[in-house]
Structure 1
Amino acid sequence: MLEPIRRPIRRAVAPVRALFVSDASAGVLLILVAAAAMIVANSPLGDDYHDLFHTYWWPKEVFYLNNLHKWINDGLMVLFFFVVGLEVKRELIAGQLSSADKRTLPIISAVAGMAVPALIYVVIAGGDPRLIRGWAIPAATDIAFAMGVLGLLGSRVPASLRLFLLTVAIVDDIGAVLVIAVFYTSELSVMWLAISVAIFGVLVGMNRFGVKRLWPFVLVAVALWLAVLFSGVHATIAGVLAALTIPMRKVDGHSMLEKAEHGLAPWSAYLVVPVFGFANAGVHILEMSLDEVFAALPLAIAAGLFFGKQLGIFTIVVLAVKLGIAKKPDNANWMEIWGVTILTGIGFTMSLFVSGLAFGDNDLLIDEAKIGILLGSIISAIVGYVALRITTKHPEEASMHEEAKATTP
């Protein structure tokens, strides 16, 4: 008797429920965090928001990490990069990047998806020498945000395209880490760099000699972080390097790497990245003039993310398939592939991170960069979602998903 009442209620709450399950939850949390940061930064609490993260605790000469913002970006974010490193290693050894036929399309797509946005950025903003360091800002895709938007579409999007987006974003992260290490390194300390190499060697040796517990790796990884911090290379690189030494070999049916990734991924997605987003997404936009909001920097970043990402990735996918270099994702048409390439223009986390490295203590340029990142990411999310919503529907994917759920113990 209650079914006629329950049915419209379920239909009404289904979109809301979809926001907080599966792939969508982490991405939606980032959206809410970014919105909260913008609201607080432009409210009467704006000065308190700034002071919370940027008030100095002690002189820089005492210890480099002298405010909450630096502890988040150079300390807490090491966990995010550690999880990225674990994910990359797993994919390289046993996942979608483990064989040439699987990794060809994601790798060339990610390279094109970094190069074209950077080129568009330089064309628009390259005339100002102060801005040239920001070329890598629109080159990164935010995995959680992009997969969150894709998750909202449910089974309408074929599984092959979900996998394609995920692997492109992972390769994209590898590229971003290399860019940070090579192009955003300050003056190097040879002594601390040598110490970092020695500590990394200890971690490699621990892997080789079969250390079976995670905590010794964690202790040595903390030492590696400190050494890299003092070396001049950005400290978060230590997280990736440490992750690459975690053993993948199976013991009792499980590997240390898989256990670590499974245990740490939720902390990264639901604590580290949201805290980073709240600390970095706030822009005092009400205090900026229209000339600053629509300056060359935000326009270059937004154009690089929205136009550059889809142009670079979609073009290279078409060329690779037509030339026989790679196969088109299964059960996907060209309109669906195009829609997914639009979502790669969501740059949030890594783009915000790179903008801080690119412009240092120049608050105006950092704020302009944030506007460009948020603008490009929001447009990419909305247009990508709408494009996929109106071009794709795969009922067979829904039935396969239901069968998989039914057979799961």
Structure 2
Amino acid sequence: MAAAPRRRPTLLGLLPLPERQAVTQALRTETVGGLVLLAAAVIALIWVNSPWGESYERIRDFHFGIPAVGLDLSVGHWTADGLLTIFFLVAGIELKRELVVGELRTPATAALPVVAALSGMAVPAAFYALTAWAGGGSLDGWAVPMATDIAFALAVLAVLSSHLPAALRAFLLTLAVVDDLGGILVIAIFFTSDLNLAALGGAFAGLVVFHLMQRFRVRGWWWYVPLGIAIWALMYNGGVHATVAGVAMGLILRTTRDEGEADSPGERTSHVLHPVSAGVAVPLFALFASGVAVSAGSLGQVFTQPEPLGVVLGLVAGKALGIFAGTYLAVRFTRARLNPDLAWADVFALAVLAGIGFTVALLIGELAFPDPAAAEQIKAAVLVGSLIAAALAAVLIKRRNGVYRRLYDEENVDADHDGIPDIYQRAGTGEH
């Protein structure tokens, strides 16, 4: 009997179910999501600086939508105003979880990361303002260096660290949640134009309905998806950046479980949408927001023009100084206490790492500088500043990781009664 013909592999075909599940699970981790985001940014830079750069611009500027309802957008705007809403929805859910059951639920535990995040936003903004003012530039970009890209930052931390205390990642995550909230408020308050009160009223009414559906335990995605799209469209036409709709819905979703409930609506939604956000929404936004024509002249302008120089200094110096000084002053003059598993050298490395400002920084840059030429300079500054911050943080984190690795080897991981190695409990004692 003749052997059955072998099936030919399908190029870019649908993966088998186990492989699809493995990919989906991987995209729920910050490390993989950050690497996908980095790959998208690199592809954009290579593409726009290649002989096929014009095709990049044609695709990015191609318009489609529903003009009758005010939704005739370019591909670039669809990724920034549409797909990125998924990212902010997931961020809103995470913020709600932190406020209800996480580190931000009580003032005592929230004080330190909140103060660190606020100073980590105010000082970079001040760095930008002083640099722009001294150079006679525009102050419009003051908010660009305020934001930390949590996916990138956590990916760098995860890749470089193997022995650092888990408290370091928890501190960064909580810091980034507050930072995201600050970025969202900045977008909502300072980057609104031509407000349409009727559309905003409709969006608010939709959010009220969304809240009531949660309150009365209405289940079924077929109710929430059309309502969510309507809220998003009304918010966009109302003049407020449409991503605010995602945050608002994320904050409304219930994150506590009812009796007998395996997962809360927030947990279920985040579980489904996190891979979409990390693997599709944010990378596509990065692909069409990171396309900057690189040349010796354009890179030189990053360090000679006041606006892009202010962004670089804000991300690299402002973030590090703001977060570290804010944390130190909070511990010195309030009842807030640093986690005993952390040393001040860990906090400084984390503060430098927070200078990676990508997704939200690029978004704010586009909103603050509508002129394409100015926006290109700011994009280049965000990329350069983030790269410098990542490189400096990598050196510091590797050094701290080496210290913990050495202590780990020396003490042979003698765990205490809680099962936690003594070296981590000595982290803040100055013994290392």
Structure 1 residues 390, 248: CA separation in 2 closer, same or farther (over 3 Å shift)?
closer
Bigger radius of gyration: 2
Task: Give the CA deviation at 1:53.
Answer: 0.6
Indicate yes or no: 2:223 matched with 1:216: yes
How far apart, CA to CA, are the structure 2 residues paired with 1:330 and 1:267? 36
Indicate yes or no: 2:315 matched with 1:308: no
Q: Which amino acid aligns with 1:226?
A: A
Q: Which amino acid aligns with 1:202?
A: V
Are the aligned partners of 2:146 and 2:361 in contact in 1 as well (CA < 8 Å)?
Answer: yes
Task: Give the CA deviation at 1:380.
Answer: 0.7
Q: How does 1:179-194 map to 2 (within 5 A)?
A: 179-194=186-201
Are the aligned partners of 1:217 and 1:246 in contact in 2 as well (CA < 8 Å)?
Answer: no
Identity %, equivalent residues: 37
One of 119, 125, 128 as aligned partner of 1:121: 128
Structure 1 residues 329, 65: CA separation in 2 closer, same or farther (over 3 Å shift)?
farther
2:43 paired residue number: 36
Q: Which amino acid aligns with 2:313?
A: A
Are the aligned partners of 1:114 and 1:309 in contact in 2 as well (CA < 8 Å)?
Answer: yes
Task: Give the CA deviation at 1:172.
Answer: 0.2
How far apart, CA to CA, are the structure 2 residues paired with 1:260 and 1:290? 41
Q: How does 1:160-239 map to 2 (within 5 A)?
A: 160-239=167-246
Q: Which string of whole-angstrom CA distances, capped at 9 and with x for unpartnered residues, describes residues 128-165 of structure 1?
A: 78732211100000000000110012333211111111
Structure 1 residues 210, 23: CA separation in 2 closer, same or farther (over 3 Å shift)?
closer
May I ask how many residue pairs the two structures share in their alignment? 383
How far apart, CA to CA, are the structure 2 residues paired with 1:149 and 1:266? 19
One of 358, 370, 378 as aligned partner of 1:369: 378
Task: Give the CA deviation at 1:382.
Answer: 0.9
Task: Give the CA deviation at 1:178.
Answer: 0.4
Q: Which amino acid aligns with 1:91?
A: E
TM-score by length of 2: 0.83
How far apart, CA to CA, are the structure 2 residues paired with 1:351 and 1:304? 11
Q: Which string of whole-angstrom CA distances, capped at 9 and with x for unpartnered residues, describes residues 14-48 of structure 1?
A: xxxxx999542222222222111111111101111
SS at match of 1:318: helix
User: After alignment, is 211-220 or 67-76 more displaced?
Assistant: 211-220
How far apart, CA to CA, are the structure 2 residues paired with 1:199 and 1:391? 49
Task: Give the CA deviation at 1:288.
Answer: 4.8
How far apart, CA to CA, are the structure 2 residues paired with 1:313 and 1:71? 33
1:325 paired residue number: 335
Task: Give the CA deviation at 1:59.
Answer: 10
Task: Give the CA deviation at 1:187.
Answer: 1.4
1:349 paired residue number: 359
Task: Give the CA deviation at 1:391.
Answer: 3.0
Q: Which runs of 5+ in 2 are unaligned?
A: 1-25, 421-432
How far apart, CA to CA, are the structure 1 residues paired with 2:68 and 2:292? 28
1:278 paired residue number: 287
Structure 1 residues 394, 359: CA separation in 2 closer, same or farther (over 3 Å shift)?
same
Task: Give the CA deviation at 1:55.
Answer: 3.0
User: After alignment, is 338-347 or 204-213 more displaced?
Assistant: 204-213
Q: Which amino acid aligns with 1:87?
A: E
Task: Give the CA deviation at 1:279.
Answer: 0.7
Q: Which structure has the highest helix share of the two?
A: 1
SS at match of 1:95: coil
How far apart, CA to CA, are the structure 2 residues paired with 1:55 and 1:221? 25
Q: Which string of whole-angstrom CA distances, capped at 9 and with x for unpartnered residues, describes residues 356-406 of structure 1?
A: 11112x111111111110111111111011112113433588968xx89xx
Q: How does 1:59-208 map to 2 (within 5 A)?
A: 63-126=70-133, 131-208=138-215
Q: Which amino acid aligns with 2:341?
A: N
SS at match of 1:253: coil
Q: Which amino acid aligns with 1:281?
A: S
SS at match of 1:65: strand
Are the aligned partners of 1:155 and 1:397 in contact in 2 as well (CA < 8 Å)?
Answer: no
Q: Which runs of 5+ in 1 are unaligned?
A: 1-18, 405-409
Indicate yes or no: 2:397 matched with 1:382: no
- The two structures, once aligned, show a CA RMSD in angstroms of 2.4
Task: Give the CA deviation at 1:240.
Answer: 0.8
How far apart, CA to CA, are the structure 2 residues paired with 1:77 and 1:175? 17
How far apart, CA to CA, are the structure 2 residues paired with 1:313 and 1:267? 31
SS at match of 1:247: coil
Are the aligned partners of 1:109 and 1:313 in contact in 2 as well (CA < 8 Å)?
Answer: yes
Are the aligned partners of 1:159 and 1:397 in contact in 2 as well (CA < 8 Å)?
Answer: no
Q: Which amino acid aligns with 1:116?
A: V
